[in-house]
């Protein structure tokens, strides 16, 4: 799709969450190159402002920044109020984080925060924006799923469950919103070369660059569905598609074990 057509369908403004680095920053750069103005949201104000200044200079777009923690449900209204005056045509919900290792050794507070960011924030943003897009008769929701979303994943059970929720939401909303002219895309990449792996405690060899994921996802956005950017995502998608679900769970557990740094197997105190 030509940049002018893309901007006409999904512009003039887009929201990108998690925009301070990794996939969020890559999506912001791709959208700016397509001529969209941006609302950049993440926790780190300095990084957002630096990215916004760079994109303004390189692409001549407008970029506004709002620094807040999307894990705090009370702050969702601040984001919505910030965006209310703007004609938003696209949401890229790239904010999120994961963890790896035995679930019994995980931090319950971190699990709750992951649920709030990976699911709660996506729900709040989609619920606010989808009716606006439907009234416009055009626009899109781009929601970040994962290769672990299609079955349970030992060694990353809670993270996989949050991404399964996102995947299922995107699939359902695609069918519901398509008659209104709204495209909904689930993006299910494999390992991505970003700060995600360090936070999750994973060694991500042969990870896909964020720019590759962003470009492939935006190309797949018209019409919606599920995009699997990156070689590992495509390979696992094809190879596991016909396997029984219990077998897929075991295989994903082995893959995760190969990516995860050693962690204690004993439960942490509540």
Is 163 an active-site residue? yes
Q: Give residue for tokens 């390979």.
A: 235
Task: Give per-residue burial for 239-266: e unless 16+ CB within 10 Å, then b.
Answer: ebeeeeeeebbebbbebbeebbeeeeee
Task: Annotate 195-260 with DSSP letters as a single string.
Answer: THHHHHTB--TTPBPHHHHHHHHHHH-TT-EEE--SHHHHHHHHHHTTS-HHHHHHHHHHHHHHHB
Catalytic residue among 2, 159, 234, 268: 159
Reported as half-sphere exposure (CB side, CA atoms, 13 A), residue 17 has a value of: 27
Sheet containing 182-187: give its strands across: 63-67, 37-42, 13-17, 88-93, 139-144, 182-187, 225-227
Is 159 an active-site residue? yes
Distance CA 133, CA 177 (A): 9
Catalytic residue among 10, 163, 234, 268: 163
Q: State the catalytic residues.
A: 159, 163
């Amino acid at each position: 799709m030509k940049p002018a057509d893309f901007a006409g369908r999904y512009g003039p403004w887009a929201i990108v969450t998690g925009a301070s680095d990794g996939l969020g920053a890559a999506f912001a750069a791709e959208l700016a190159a397509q001529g969209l103005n941006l609302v950049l949201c993440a926790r780190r104000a300095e990084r957002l402002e630096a990215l916004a200044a760079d994109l303004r200079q390189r692409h001549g777009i407008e970029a506004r920044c709002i620094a807040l923690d999307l894990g705090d449900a009370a702050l969702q209204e601040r984001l919505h109020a910030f965006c209310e005056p703007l004609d938003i045509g696209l949401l890229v919900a790239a904010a999120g984080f994961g963890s790896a290792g035995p679930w019994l050794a995980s931090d319950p507070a971190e699990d709750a925060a992951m649920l709030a960011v990976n699911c709660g924030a996506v729900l709040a943003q989609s619920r606010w924006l989808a009716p606006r897009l439907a009234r416009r008769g055009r626009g899109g929701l781009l929601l970040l799923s994962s290769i672990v979303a299609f079955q349970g994943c030992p060694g990353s059970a809670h993270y996989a469950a949050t991404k399964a929720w996102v995947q299922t939401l995107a699939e359902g909303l695609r069918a519901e919103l398509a008659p209104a002219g709204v495209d909904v895309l689930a993006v299910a990449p494999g390992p991505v070369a970003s700060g995600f792996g360090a936070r999750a405690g994973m060694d991500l060899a042969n990870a896909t660059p964020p720019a590759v994921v962003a470009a492939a996802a935006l190309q797949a956005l018209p019409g919606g569905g599920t995009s699997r950017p990156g070689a590992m995502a495509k390979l696992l998608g094809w190879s596991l598609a016909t396997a029984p679900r219990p077998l897929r769970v075991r295989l994903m557990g082995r893959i995760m074990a190969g990516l995860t740094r050693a962690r204690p197997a004993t439960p942490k105190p509540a």
